[in-house]
Each structure stands twice: as C-alpha cells, then as structure tokens.
Chain A
Amino acid sequence: MIRFDHVTKRFGSRNVLDDLSFEIQKGEVFAIVGPSGTGKSVTLKHMVRLLTPNEGSVWLDETEISAATGKTLDIVRSRFGYLFQSAALLGWMTVEENIALPLREKTKLKEDEIAERVQSALEMVGLANEGEKYPNEISGGMQKRAGLARSIVCKPEIVLYDEPTSGLDPITSRTIDRLILSLNRRLGITSVVVTHDLYGALLSADRIALLHQGRFVEVNTPEQFIRSEQPNVRGFLDAQFVPRDWDFESQRRGNQESE
C-alpha cells in the first residue's frame, strides 16, 4: 500500500535516509523503532510529502506521493491521519475546537453532528471532560491524546502515529496501544507507529522495523524480531531487557485482561 523505493534523504551532507526500501501492507500495524535521531519522524513525513526525497520515490498504491502536488497531494493527504510528535495543536483554540477543525473546514456536517463526533473521539482517548480547555492548560500527555483524537476524527484510511505513547504513564500507554489496535481491527485502519515503547510495539504490531543509519536492518513479525541475531536488534532488545524467549501469549492475555 505504501511503498518506499530506494529513498535517500540528505540534510546538509548527512544521509538521514540511505537507500531505504520497504512496503507496508493494507490493514497492517507497522511499527518503526530505533534510537533517537535516526530518522523515524523523517520517514513518516515522506509518506505524506511533508518532506521530499533527494533520490528515490514514495508510492501510495499507484500514486507517486513524492511527486504529487496540488489537488493530487490533497487527495492523498486526506486519506491519512497524522499524529505529530509534538501533538501540533493550535494554541488559540480549545481542545474541542482543535478536534472539530478538520470537520468544520473540510466537511459539510452540521454543528450537532460535529459535536457528537468530537465528543466520541474525546471519549476514545480518555479526555471526555477536558474538551473546553486550551492546549497549554493540559499536560503534554493529554495534548498528545488530543492530537490523536484530531488525527482520527475524520476516519482516515491510514494513520501515522509519531510516538503516540511517549510522555504517557504505562497504564495510559497500554490504553492507547489498545486503541490503535482496535481502530486497526474494527475499522481496518492501516497504522504506522513510530515508537520508543518496545513493549507496545511487540504487543500490537504485525511487523516491526528497526531503523539504523538510514536503513531498516530488520523487518519482521514480533515473534521473529526478538529472536533476531542482528547485532543492532540485539543491542536494542537487550537495552530494554527483552529476552529471546519473551512470552508473547501470557503478555497478550495479560494485556486483554487488564481491559
């Protein structure tokens, strides 16, 4: 569905993405992990042409995103929801107005329908009572969740999550993981999740990719991923104390029971 074809992106003389190729299937949850500053956010931005590759191309089905402009680009972008790493809420609007913004500007929905959609999106991320506050009156984690609500309120086909759980406590993190998973399972939303939270990725992703020096050194299912002998993968797993024989079954069960 989303395909990177030998993408290279340079900032100055540094290759942040270096001949990167991969494909994300329709309906899957694809997690990208990796150390800070390796280019995970840069990878996401290429999927909607917020950045353009220096070499190579990015495709959404048959459309070349990396060359799309004007109307074509708008059509492509409206199929995506994007949760920015910084949440990117507009500071002079309340949380509710922020979430309603894409509906007000881009749809012909009536105000009461909009209010309903906004309220249900707020409930989904656990902010039902914070709608009237301004972004600077709520915590960073709450801003993140408000950003999440805004990115899914238009019911996009594909959602790009840039660190949806960073800055959240472990319990809320698991709630967000489950939310991402249930959006994927219930509505078939293709999800690309950039995360530092390896446990979340292991529990909810269909495939995990580790970005290192501009390339994916490993792209695999969680079960295979933790058994990988690739040195960077091992280093990354060991740093977070994930053993080769991590018990997926009981962890997943535990995750469901806590629901």
Chain B
Amino acid sequence: MITREPDWGEGRGLFGGILHAFGAVGRGGVLVFQSIALFPLMLVRGRSRRELFAQMYQAGIRSLPVITVVAFFTGMILALQVGLELRRFNQEIYIGSAVMVALLREMGPFMTGIVLTACVGSSMAAQLGTMTVNEEIAALEMMTISPVRFLMAPRMGAMILMTPLISFYTCIVGILGGGVVGLTQLNVPWGQYITTAMNFGDLRDLYVGLFKALVFGIIITGVSCYQGFTTTHGAVGVGRSTRQSVITSLLLILMTGYIITRMFYDL
C-alpha cells in the first residue's frame, strides 16, 4: 500500500537523505494524484459525499472566525502602510487600488494558505498520524478499505472546493478592513475608496489569485496527509509529523506562490 510500503527507511548519510527526499516527493505526489482522481467519486457516492461535506465544514466554516480576523487586519495593515507613503505625495485617495491589487494577487491566497496550514493542515497530520500509530490505518487496509479513498480523498476534495472560496472571502474582508483604516485614519471617503479599488481590480488578478489558493489547498492536504500516513514512533512521532507538515506546507506555499506569480506576470 502506497501509504507505508515500500519503506525506504530513514536514509543514512547525504546520499541516503537525498534518496529519501526524492522518495517522499514521489510517494506524496502519487497520493495527491490518487486523491484528486477520486474527486468525482466523492460527488456521486452518497456516503462519500456526506464525508466530503463534513470535511468542507471542518476546513471552511470552522476556520472562518480566524480567517476573518486575519483578513481584516491584513487589509488594515496594507492600507495603513501604503497610506503613510502615499500621504507624502498627497495621494492617499489611491490606497483602495493598492489594497485591492495586493490582496487579489498575493495576500488573499497567501494568508488563506497560512491560516489553513495552521488550523486545517496541522489537524489533518495529527489526526491521520494518530490513526497510523494506533494501527487504525492498518485496520482499514485489512478491511480492504483504501485509506486514500476513505480519508484523504474527502479532505482533498474539501480543500479544493474551499480554498478558492476562502481566498475570495479573505480579499473581500481585507478590502473592508482597508476601507475602515482609510475612513478613520486617512480621511479617505468610503465611496472614493471603493471606486478606486474597483477601478484597479483586475479580473485576471482575481483568477490567478484563486488558482494560487487552489494550488495551496492541494499542497496543504498532500503534505499533511503524507506526513500523517508515514508517522512512526507513537505520540512523539505524531508531534514530529505535525510540525513537519506545517513547516513543509509553509515553505512550499512560499515557493509555489513565487513560481505561479512569475508564470502569469511578465516582467
């Protein structure tokens, strides 16, 4: 079963370490493809659909409070920083455009990725990791129930559906946050703020941003489930897997964020 066998071990020395890393990427990649390929099944099969909805609730609705706060403050910080600069040229009415572009292109998906890594990815890794060390994953395999289909695919489906939505929501709340700062600190009237924001808001920026969020969602699920399935060494191992899944997700989000930006925007 791809979740645990073949076992390449810890990997000794530099060469072993590199080999191990490549093995991990390969197996993680296979898990990601398998779980995405099962997406249609999640929609048609009653029991799977229920599980998908449960996971969407877990990933999406449960993280809304923290997302809202993060998004609002992100918008406020953006508006304040940009506003302080623009005020030197008496151009602070344009903060709306700056906040809009920054959120759509980068901060919306990025903040979504960070928050979901922290609250959803870590809990996925911990839950699947605990199941692995308690032999629950092995028990599923013994019942010939694929852990990828039973556990990972609904999580993957939920994240694919939810991350773009959450990213969009982050942008909207961020714009509102920026507007509040504009109104109260920089004396930019609400109407003018929104108008400049909408004038500079580009649909393409929105789409690229949502695509980024989607990729981040796949990364978070893939990394966290892989870490969970490959957990060993009891409770200590669960802690280590959780930590590792957060670190790996954040690094991959930063790097792919850059790569996607570079792909869609020419210099």
Q: Which of A77, A78, A81, A88 contacts B135 (CB 8 A)?
A: A88
What is the CB-to-nearest-CB distance from B129 to chain A, in angstroms, rounded to a whole number? 13
- Tell whether, in the assembled complex, residue B144 and residue A82 are in contact, meaning their CB atoms are under 8 Å apart: no
Q: Is B14 in contact with chain A by the CB < 8 A criterion?
A: no
A81 to B6, CA, bound (A): 23
CB-CB under 8 A from B139, the residues of chain A are: 82, 84, 88
- Tell whether, in the assembled complex, residue B145 and residue A101 are in contact, meaning their CB atoms are under 8 Å apart: yes
Q: Is A52 in contact with chain B by the CB < 8 A criterion?
A: yes
Q: Find the residue from B141, B144, B150 having the highest chain A CB count within 10 A.
A: B144
- Tell whether, in the assembled complex, residue B145 and residue A77 are in contact, meaning their CB atoms are under 8 Å apart: no
* B56-83 interface (Cβ within 8 A of A): none
- Tell whether, in the assembled complex, residue A106 and residue B134 are in contact, meaning their CB atoms are under 8 Å apart: no
Number of chain B residues whose Cβ lies closer than 8 Å to a Cβ of chain A: 16
Q: Which of A77, A90, A102, A105 contacts B136 (CB 8 A)?
A: A90
Q: Is A50 in contact with chain B by the CB < 8 A criterion?
A: yes
Q: Is B47 in contact with chain A by the CB < 8 A criterion?
A: yes
* A38-97 interface (Cβ within 8 A of B): 45, 48-50, 52, 73-74, 77-78, 80-82, 84-86, 88-91
- Tell whether, in the assembled complex, residue A106 and residue B135 are in contact, meaning their CB atoms are under 8 Å apart: no
A78 to B5, CA, bound (A): 19
What is the CB-to-nearest-CB distance from A82 to chain B, in angstroms, rounded to a whole number? 5
Q: Is B142 in contact with chain A by the CB < 8 A criterion?
A: yes
* A102-156 interface (Cβ within 8 A of B): 102, 104-106, 154
CB-CB under 8 A from B6, the residues of chain A are: 52
* B102-152 interface (Cβ within 8 A of A): 131, 134-136, 138-139, 141-145, 150
Q: Which of B131, B135, B136, B144 contacts A74 (CB 8 A)?
A: B144
A88 and B136 contact, Cβ closer than 8 Å, known pairs A52-B5, A104-B47: yes
What is the CB-to-nearest-CB distance from A135 to chain B, in angstroms, rounded to a whole number? 10
Q: Find the residue from B135, B136, B138 having the highest chain A CB count within 10 A.
A: B135
Number of chain A residues whose Cβ lies closer than 8 Å to a Cβ of chain B: 25
Question: Which single residue of chain B is at the shortest CB-CB distance from A98?
Answer: B139
Q: Which of A84, A86, A88, A106 contacts B144 (CB 8 A)?
A: A106
CB-CB under 8 A from B1, the residues of chain A are: 73
Question: Which single residue of chain A is at the shortest CB-CB distance from B137?
Answer: A88
A82 to B141, CA, bound (A): 10
- Tell whether, in the assembled complex, residue B141 and residue A77 are in contact, meaning their CB atoms are under 8 Å apart: yes
Question: Which single residue of chain B is at the shortest CB-CB distance from A153?
Answer: B143
Per-residue interface assignment for chain B, residues 143 to 178, with 1 indicating a CB less than 8 Å from any chain A CB and 0 otherwise: 111000010000000000000000000000000000
A102 and B145 contact, Cβ closer than 8 Å, known pairs A86-B134, A88-B136, A88-B138: yes
A89 to B138, CA, bound (A): 11
A101 to B147, CA, bound (A): 13
Q: Find the residue from B5, B136, B142 having the highest chain A CB count within 10 A.
A: B142
Q: Would you give 23 A-B contacts (Cβ < 8 Å), ordered by A?
A: A45-B138, A48-B142, A49-B5, A50-B142, A73-B1, A77-B142, A77-B144, A78-B144, A80-B142, A81-B142, A84-B138, A88-B135, A88-B136, A88-B138, A90-B136, A101-B143, A102-B145, A104-B47, A105-B143, A105-B150, A106-B143, A106-B145, A154-B143
Known A49-B5, A102-B145; further 15 A-B contacts with Cβ < 8 A = A48-B142, A50-B142, A73-B1, A77-B141, A77-B142, A78-B144, A80-B142, A84-B139, A88-B139, A91-B136, A104-B47, A105-B145, A105-B150, A106-B144, A106-B145
